[in-house]
Amino acid sequence: MKPLPVEDPGAPGHRSPARYLLWIARTQAMSLAAGATFGVLWMLSQALLPAAMGRAIDDGVAARDTGGLLTWSGAVLALGAAQAASGMARHRMATFNWLAAAYRTVQVVTRQATRLGATLPKRLGAGEVVSVGISDVSHIGDAMDIVSRGTGAVVAIVAVAGIMLAASPPLGLVVLIGVPLILVAAAPLLRPYREREQRHRELVGELTTHATDLVAGLRVLRGIGGERLFAERYRAESQRVRQAGVAVARAESKLSGAEILLPGLLIALVTWLGARFAANGTISVGQLVSFYGYAWFLIHPLKTVGEAAGKLTKAYVASGRVVAILDLRPDVPLEGTARPEPGGVLVDAASGLTVRPGCFTAVAAAEPRDAQTIADRLARYAEGDVTYGGTPLAALADVRERILLAVNEDRLFSGRLAESLTTPGTAEGALERAIEAANAEDIIAATGMDAPVVEAGREFSGGQQQRLRLARALAADPEVLILVEPTSAVDAHTEARIADRLGVHRAGRTTVVCTTSPLMLDRADHVAYVEDGTVVAEGTHQDLLALDPRYAATVTRGEANGGPERRDAYEEMGKHMGKV
């Protein structure tokens, strides 16, 4: 049996939910066939038990033949052993098929999410993605799991009908005609069930998204007094989800009831007819016992067929959500093939910004969103006429490896702290140096590198999270590192230490920092001042302060926003350096 998950999940068919399910089935055709084989053996061993018991009664008990009784008793024992062995093998293969389908779906969705990058949160809410990873993969796995039992159920129904048809044509015809009638009668219940399941699924995704946003902004909501308002909205949305869930349960209960009622009616009819035939001498006592056993046995495969219909319906809905993600295309495709030499000049034609290789360049914008827009273009998270070493970014084969953009919306990952701050390619000792450059030694001293990190690192304060994110970006050591307001949540003294260490740590590597912090601007080799999305002045921080009042006004506003502590710290440091 292959280890899971597989190394390469393959290219999924995603033109429709049905095609996706067929693709999943093709990729694990061998295990599905094995599961179906064991499922058939498992069901047939149960289906043949009533026949063996009937022969034991007729050939052994009624005929008073000890040898016949022992022979057919042995057959019953053998069928029981076959049922146990095939049942274990079937369950093992069904579990493997469930896991294989679920893992493969997680792999292709994760790969697509990685490919989409910044496009994904723009197109889908967090709750939608979470629901795919939790409930939808389970439903798709259920569809592969039911194959073994469903196949066995269909074969068993046909086998029992054949045996009954040979023993008593009227009873066999009742089963052969009755089973399709049951399926036809239950079919109208599937459509409303699928529609209500789809609606419930959409509402759950929306509610999960809102819950994620609510938790993430809980502190802010409490600060502005909006906690109660959003709680009321969430309560109202929860009620809509509950009502949709009740509607799904109502439709499912009707389907479940039909799974019991309709086969029960067929079984009652078979039992009644069998009793009449036995009384008339048309069939023997042993055959009557067999037919009664068949009647009870048929409940299981017929119910399994109904269960298969329900699980396939859920899987179809779930596949639709997966296909919706797989159909998304990145806003900015990464399909280049060029691999220029490292250390090239980075040029943004739209703004006129030129980033020299190996320099610490700061971008100060009158409007912060202009700096963010430039950063997005430089890292190819937005379309733009940007070149690196004379090669358009669109033509680069390894943009994400060469250029790293770090913003304050980034998140820390759950797990060990050391694992959250590194990647498999992180050089030895790089993390320790990055932690020092980000002035995060006190955090590591307090928690340790093996400390568990909860979702998004919520146990850390805003400033601590920012320093840890900066350490992670520095540890990656890309050719070009672009930082957007990397010190906005720390105090002035911490910011000063980071500003001092950042340039030293990134010496010889290209670094771009989008900020209006005087502490950071003063350490930059080159500062570009941006108004209305265009670079209007360039030089050192001190030169721009002296020569460009627009720049001075922007920086002064940044000092004011930093509060007295940041302004006093900057003045004290400036006096110490003899620059104020």
d(CA 166, CA 171): 9
**Do residues 201 and 135 lie in contact, with contact meaning Cβ atoms separated by under 8 Å?**
yes
- Write down the pLDDT at residue 127: 62
**Do residues 278 and 285 lie in contact, with contact meaning Cβ atoms separated by under 8 Å?**
yes
**Do residues 366 and 554 lie in contact, with contact meaning Cβ atoms separated by under 8 Å?**
yes
161 in helix, strand or coil? helix
d(CA 251, CA 270): 29
**Mean pLDDT, rounded, for 228-236:** 75
Q: Which tens digits make up the pLDDT trace of 260-316? A: 788 778 778 877 887 888 788 777 777 777 777 777 787 788 778 878 888 898 899
Encoded tokens for 425: 């390619």
Confidence of residue 347 (pLDDT cuts 50, 70, 90): very high
Encoded tokens for 101: 């389908």
- Write down the pLDDT at residue 212: 62
Q: Which long-range contacts (CB under 8 A, 24 or more apart) does 178-183 make?
A: 178/266, 178/269, 178/270, 179/266, 179/302, 182/262, 182/263, 182/266, 182/302, 183/305
Better-scored residue on pLDDT, 258 or 435 = 435
- Write down the pLDDT at residue 371: 95
Residues in contact with 175: Cβ distance below 8 Å, sequence separation at least 6, in sequence order? 157, 160, 161, 164, 165, 266, 270, 298
Residues in contact with 335: Cβ distance below 8 Å, sequence separation at least 6, in sequence order? none
- DSSP assignment of 266-300 equals HHHHHHHHHHHHHHTTSS-HHHHHHHHHHHHHHHH
d(CA 472, CA 110): 21
d(CA 199, CA 197): 5
CA 104 from centre of chain: 11
Q: Which tens digits make up the pLDDT trace of 367-380? A: 999 999 999 999 99
Of the candidates 389, 393, 391, 361, which has an alpha carbon nearest to the alpha carbon of residue 377?
393
d(CA 116, CA 330): 5
Q: Which tens digits make up the pLDDT trace of 118-159? A: 777 777 766 677 777 778 888 999 999 999 999 999 998 888
**Do residues 463 and 419 lie in contact, with contact meaning Cβ atoms separated by under 8 Å?**
no
Q: How far is CA 13 from CA 96, 249, 312, 477, 564, in A?
A: 22, 31, 17, 37, 60
Predicted confidence (pLDDT) at residue 352 exceeds the cutoff of 80: yes
Residues in contact with 63: Cβ distance below 8 Å, sequence separation at least 6, in sequence order? none
Strands (E), 377-525: 386-388, 391-392, 403-406, 415-416, 452-453, 480-484, 510-514
d(CA 119, CA 132): 17
Of the candidates 434, 513, 508, which has an alpha carbon nearest to the alpha carbon of residue 475?
434
d(CA 346, CA 531): 20
d(CA 249, CA 244): 9
Encoded tokens for 336: 């280049």
d(CA 529, CA 371): 10
Cα dihedral 247→251→256→261 (10° resolution): 130
Encoded tokens for 300: 């299981």
pTM as predicted: 0.63
User: To 5 degrees, how large is the angle CA 485–CA 487–CA 490?
Assistant: 145
Q: Which tens digits make up the pLDDT trace of 495-526? A: 999 999 999 999 999 999 999 999 999 999 99
Instruction: Give 393's DSSP letter.
Output: G
Instruction: Give 132's DSSP letter.
Output: I
Q: Which domains does the chain have, with CATH numbers?
A: 17-326 (1.20.1560.10), 346-577 (3.40.50.300)
Average pLDDT across the chain, whole number: 84
Confidence of residue 205 (pLDDT cuts 50, 70, 90): low
d(CA 200, CA 247): 8
Could you tell me where the DSSP H helices lie in 135-217? Answer: 137-167, 169-186, 190-216
Encoded tokens for 178: 């009755």
In whole angstroms, how large is the CA radius of gyration of the chain?
Answer: 34
Residues in contact with 2: Cβ distance below 8 Å, sequence separation at least 6, in sequence order? 100
489 in helix, strand or coil? coil
d(CA 522, CA 573): 11
Predicted confidence (pLDDT) at residue 489 exceeds the cutoff of 50: yes
Percent of the chain's residues with pLDDT above 90: 40
Q: Which tens digits make up the pLDDT trace of 411-445? A: 888 888 888 898 777 777 899 999 999 999 999 99
d(CA 543, CA 537): 10
